[in-house]
Amino acid sequence: MKIVDVTTQVFTYTSKIVYDADGHAHPGPEHEATQSLLRIITDEGVEGYCFGADPEPIQRIVKPMLIGEDPFHRERIWQRLKERQRLHLGLLSDRVLAAVDMALWDLAGRYLNQPVYKLLGAYREKVKAYASTMCGDELEGGLNTPEAYADFAEQCKERGYKAFKLHTWMPPIPWAPDPKMDVAACRAVRERVGDDMVLMLDPYHYYSREEALYIGRELEKLGFYWFEEPMDEHGISSYVWLAEQLDIPIVGPETAEGKMYTRAEWIVRGASDISRGGVWDVGGITPLMKIVHLCESFGVRMEVHGGGAGNLHVLCAMGIPGEYYERGLLHPFLDYEEPPPWLHEIVDPMDDEGYVHVSQRPGLGLNINFDYIEAHTIAKV
């Protein structure tokens, strides 16, 4: 089997999510937005798909490299793309590698008529989810006060979530960040939901050492489960300093570049207690599984960053915890259970007990609405 074409199809949809000046998602007025579908096409008629790829690097770098390749040579393709990043990182990001790698895994699953998590080596069919909120806002009835977070945590508990993670207030909100407000929100949530709900915090990512230590000590008093990315992740020494002083597990790195190499250095330095990575952070399923095995070898837990089909399939192939699936981002104004118009169903359905179930469909399990995509396509290359 050979790859004969690689296309990206850009189409429009109506979105209710807007991005603030710092790039954080919030609910907003309906407006037209775009999405893209990456399609890897073979001479045997089998195709693999992934949403969210930037067409330019796909067409300029990826397509010439993939034409003629065996799509089952995922490791070889990933290694070649990784080497090409050295002089082309501005265009060939880890997100591009991730989209290509996930489309290749999807293709393999569709060809073999098996879900990806079984190709990886299945461990389970369902994973506990935590409700992962959007960042704080200034919307009345949204996530604008500590009480608003408590209200929303209570709603999530009633929906079946056993765990809840706050993303608190960040710039460009004029008064943010504010460590005391973060702690106030965490306290309001704990007091509302009681002791039996697992709680985590993912606050502003550029606090000082002292601010991070203050928040971490307050979280320990509130019985929080983990503390995530309170400082710039390039400062490994700062994380070593913080982790030495806190009992609450520090989770990271999440956004720091460097794939499995960075995770290895954090483990060796003792910069965090629980490692972290998601398909979009590290360049796909292929490298994320390397990180899973790295963590297993060191006896270190690893929590997967972000939702989506790729992360869910990896979670269902992890022999070590990997305890939670990050479901979101959630907000009181948005209905997460409603599929986006390019899918017939969401990829991460959750039962009343708070477990997300992996799809048994072949590949990544995306039930794609091709008619919608065709009808709304504005560019195809």
To the nearest whole angstrom, how small is the minimum distance from the Cβ of residue 129 to Mg ion? 15
Contact pattern from residue 37 through residue 76 relative to Mg ion, giving x for each residue in contact according to CB under 5 A and a dash for the rest: ----------------------------------------
Token pair belonging to 231: 């400082």
Which span (61-69, 149-157, 183-191, 197-205) binds Mg ion, by CB under 5 A? 197-205
- Pure H helices in the chain: 55-57, 63-66, 74-88, 94-112, 116-120, 146-159, 179-193, 209-221, 236-245, 259-269, 279-282, 285-298, 309-315, 370-375
**Strand-pair partners of 7:** 39
To the nearest whole angstrom, how small is the minimum distance from the Cβ of residue 272 to Mg ion? 12
CA distances from 133 to 136, 155, 163, 291 (A): 8, 12, 11, 26
Rg of the chain over all Cα atoms, to the nearest angstrom: 21
To the nearest whole angstrom, how small is the minimum distance from the Cβ of residue 122 to Mg ion? 27
Cα–Cα nearest to 164, from 128, 124, 140? 128
Which span (4-12, 108-116, 123-131, 202-210) binds Mg ion, by CB under 5 A? 202-210
Residue selected from 69, 94, 137, 202 as contacting Mg ion according to rule CB under 5 A: 202
Q: Does residue 284 contact residue 292 with C-beta atoms inside 8 Å?
A: no
Q: Return the residue nearest Mg ion (CB atom).
A: 202
Q: How far apart are CA 53 and CA 100, in angstroms?
A: 8
Q: Does 303 bind Mg ion (CB under 5 A)?
A: no
User: CB-wise, 94 or 254, nearer to Mg ion?
Assistant: 254
Token pair belonging to 7: 């296309």
Apex 132 CA angle, 126 and 134, nearest 5: 150
To the nearest whole angstrom, how small is the minimum distance from the Cβ of residue 2 to Mg ion? 39
Which span (203-211, 247-255, 340-348, 352-360) binds Mg ion, by CB under 5 A? 247-255
To the nearest whole angstrom, how small is the minimum distance from the Cβ of residue 326 to Mg ion? 8
Contact pattern from residue 218 through residue 237 relative to Mg ion, giving x for each residue in contact according to CB under 5 A and a dash for the rest: ----------x---------
User: CB-wise, 117 or 149, nearer to Mg ion?
Assistant: 149
Contact residues toward Mg ion (CB under 5 A) are 202, 228, 254
